[in-house]
Chain A
Amino acid sequence: MSAILDLKLIDEADKYLDAEAQLTDFRMMGEKLFEVFGADEGRVSTQIRNLQQIAVSVRRLSDVEDFVKNQMGKKSGADSWRQVGEEILAHLARLRTEANHIATDEGQRLLLRAYLARGWVKAVVGAYLYAKASKEMSHA
């Protein structure tokens, strides 16, 4: 059981993340995040930063799932998360399925899930930033 992700699997994961279907899904997700969270006085929404921070730093995909569920389950301030949370969880579930499909070794699957989550959040936040910039330019 290796703690280093196999290069062939990274290649497979990159192909999945770069496929047209995923890119479209991720772009739509990013745009939806901008619709729901907007910007904090011109700056990137704290919620988006938090999501990004979690996704790039965790070793386990389930930590990202827990973060989203905790945000959705809060007593106050959860409305926005409840608008997008189910869709985010569906995206994360697809990443989990894909990792299981690409790798057979449980250790590699664990690493691959985290790798896919980082790729996912990079694409989604990229789309969010593009939507934010587009709106700012249209108002300039």
Chain B
Amino acid sequence: MLEIDIRIDTDLRDRAFHAVDAFVDAHGAPVSRTQIAGLLQIAFNEPDKISQFAGNQKERAEKRLIGMKEGDNKTRLENEVEFWKRVTSLSGAKGGAIPWSLAQECEKEMPAHLKNLVKPHPTDKSGREAYNRLIAEKERRARQWNRDHYPAFFRHFCAHYCYRMPPERGSQHASDR
């Protein structure tokens, strides 16, 4: 537990705070406390589904933007779309262009024999069985890693976001009323 605790108390904490600060400085706080509570709930109960949840929230905001006239509410919704993109990027994003994400960290910490798995030829039956076993092991490890890290990261993230929200802001969100 010690190593995970250290990580939660230092690296994940710092990354969550910086991510919130960078976002709020650029876009304000467009997401309501109710939505933040939902995000935290997902992080705790179904960490594997964070990206899916954020994607759904983004789509909802995008749909509401269609045909909307310029104004404060449109800006807020555009910022909300950016917020959910950021959450997706912080949690599930992979690839060279992404500087850091939980998914990348998880991949980095996989044992060497589970990295860069290559799918065998369909006719290679024994190779396929071995590959499926490795995939299952990798998925099991990833689920455990997610359960250990996602709730901790998003607890810091959500607490810092709520802290950065202006006190009177809450009353402006329809979903908070």
Contact = CB atoms under 8 A, between A and B. Distances in A.
A61 interface: yes
Contact of A106 (B8, B10, B167, B171): B10
A50 B1 CA distance: 25
Interface of B: 1-3, 5-6, 8-10, 13, 33, 155-156, 159-165, 167, 170-171, 176
Nearest to B176: A75
A12 interface: no
Interface stretch (A16-24, A29-37, A64-72): A64-72
A93 to B, nearest CB: 11
Interface residues of A, number: 24
B169 to A, nearest CB: 9
Interface string A86-98: 0000000000000
A69 B162 contact: yes
B167 A82 contact: yes
Given A1-B3, A59-B1, 9 more contacts: A3-B2, A66-B156, A66-B159, A70-B162, A73-B159, A74-B33, A85-B163, A106-B10, A110-B9
Which of B8, B155, B162, B165 is most buried by chain A, counting CB atoms within 10 A of its CB? B162
A60 interface: yes
A106 B176 contact: no
3 pairs of A and B residues whose beta carbons are closest in the complex: A73-B162, A69-B163, A75-B170
Contacts of A110: 2, 5-6, 9
Contacts of A73: 33, 159, 161-165
Contact of A75 (B3, B8, B33, B155): B33
B6 A107 contact: yes
A78 B165 CA distance: 12
A60 B162 contact: no
Contacts of B165: 73
14 contacts: A1-B3, A59-B1, A65-B13, A65-B159, A66-B159, A66-B160, A67-B159, A69-B162, A70-B162, A73-B161, A73-B162, A73-B163, A106-B6, A107-B2
